Amino acid sequence: MSPYNHLEDHFARIGNLDDAVGLLHWDMSTIMPKGGAGARAEQMATLRRLRHSLVAAPEVADLLNEAEANNNLAPWQEANLAEMRRAQIHASAVEGKLIEALSKACAACEMIWREARPAADFARVRPALTEILRLGREVAAAKAEILECSPYEALLDEWEPGGRTHAIDPVFDDLANFLPDFTDQVLEAQAKSPPARLPKGPFPAEKQRMLGEKLMAKLGFDFERGRLDQSHHPFCGGATDDVRITTRYDENDFVEGLMAILHETGHALYEFGLPKDWQRQPVGRARGMAMHESQSLLIEMQACRTKEFMMYAAPLMRKAFGGRGPDWGASNLHRLYTRVQRSFIRTEADEVTYPAHVILRYRLEKAMVVGDLEIADLPGAFNDGLEALLGIRPPDDAKGCLQDIHWYAGAWGYFPTYTLGAIAAAQLFEAAKKANPEILPSIGRGDFAPLLTWLRTNIHSKGSLQSMPDLLVAATGRKLDPKTYKSHLKERYLNT
């Protein structure tokens, strides 16, 4: 067997470990009894340390050196080898015992956060979060030295390969300057239109689930290879050919739960569309979280908040909840799903104010990783930052720094991928509509096949064959372009 073929076999086994961790995490987040938390933390830590040892093993470095000397690899193999090398560099920078300690700390902190969030009790989770940050800084420092980047960028690179602050900062600073005045303009324009009215509830969770599953099927979700469940925080996870998505329901307002389902379905469609010939290989995985978020936001924001989609979905919503009257009309529901308002919760935020939530978290986590912001000062810094960006101040920490799971699960460096993904989503949807003018009319009939076909061809089937900039250039003709995103916002919220 050639060195490259040895590596393929080796990384296929690593892929199986990733799948096992994915399912254990899904179980922990959905149906695991509370008493199993300690044992689950041990299980996941053991698997993550085992995975780390398999990637960082000295023989892997030797095989990589030998395989890289081979000039006879096909393009997909070359890309796979590059992804293997990237994984090996990340793993070899950190000792296995640190990976295990961080995994246990994250599992423990997440369980505490589940109780602290509804109680708005940051003090309860602060010691556990402090420990996660301490360990995360150790990982960041070790990786930064090898990657020749800042400690924060070393963590960002885990989620967004090649992501660097010198590229992100000007984009986010531009949006931070653009959005306040633009938001004022949108709110002024919105005030001149008929107000969006939430139909009268309640909206039973079971009926929300049934409606969600009907729309998931229309989007192309494969229930033979996936399922929908409930969790404290919506996510998409699971394993190869077993994609698990979750949401949470509010029986007084069906908007958040349904849009979370559509968002996570976008993630799932990406996972279903990845190249079958490269399953469990690094090159067969999604191309970073910014591209992943572009797929979820393309479905949720770009496609499913159009007038065309609402013309199709409004009768389904009305039927699902037995609604009557004009509040269930497509026009009102479209205004409801595109309503702009300054709000505290990121996952409930509209398309216009959402980037401000992300920019705030990006700035805060950068400061925490480098030591410019201590955990004890996080609640105040969060509240000050939201007030500066959106003009509102959280009344408590449940609506402030406790609302998201990411930091409490150790996901430092993830947040910027949301807005990078939103920018990419606008660019991709524009290119898809130009390539196939039938996409929007088809969505109006509940037919997502034309859009999904374009995404399968241009994004999903490519896996990690190319970098995100190269994928965008191939699909749209240019690299990430914030101008397209701002043009989309102006068109949707000021010109209609």
Residue 343's CATH number: 1.10.1370.30
- How far CA 177 is from CA of 180, 181, 268, in Å, comes to 7, 8, 34
Q: What is the dihedral sign for C-alpha 487, 490, 492, 495?
A: negative
Give yes or no: residues 145 and 233 share one domain: no
Structure tokens at 307: 């007038």
Give kind and range of the element (H or E) at residue 243. Answer: strand 242-247
CA distance 119 to 189: 37
Give yes or no: residues 336 and 404 share one domain: yes
Is the separation of the CB atoms in 228 and 209 below 8 Å?
A: yes
Give yes or no: residues 154 and 293 share one domain: no
Structure tokens at 64: 């990589």
CA distance 75 to 90: 23
Give yes or no: residues 75 and 173 share one domain: no
Give yes or no: residues 139 and 226 share one domain: no
Give yes or no: residues 181 and 157 share one domain: no
Q: What is the dihedral sign for C-alpha 142, 469, 346, 359?
A: positive
Give yes or no: residues 156 and 277 share one domain: no
Q: Is 238 helix (H, G, I), strand (E, B) or coil?
A: strand
Boundary residue ending a domain (106, 131, 166): 166
CA distance 297 to 426: 9
Give yes or no: residues 154 and 204 share one domain: no
CA distance 43 to 472: 39
Name residues of the chain where pLDDT drops below 70: 496
Is the separation of the CB atoms in 354 and 422 below 8 Å?
A: yes
Residues with Cβ within 8 Å of 241's Cβ and at least 6 positions away in sequence, in order, are: 225, 279
Output the pLDDT for position 348: 87
Give yes or no: residues 120 and 217 share one domain: no
CA distance 61 to 56: 8
Give yes or no: residues 260 and 125 share one domain: no
Hey, which residues are catalytic here?
264
Domain tally, the chain: 2
Give yes or no: residues 151 and 173 share one domain: no
Enter the pTM of the model. Answer: 0.95
Output the pLDDT for position 233: 85
Boundary residue ending a domain (99, 134, 166): 166
Give yes or no: residues 173 and 159 share one domain: no
- Phi/psi for 171 (5° steps) reads -65, -45
Structural domain harbouring 439:
169-493
CA distance 433 to 422: 17
Boundary residue ending a domain (116, 144, 166): 166
Instruction: Please report how many Cα atoms fall inside a 13 Å half-sphere around the Cα of residue 408, on the Cβ side.
Output: 23
CA distance 315 to 324: 10
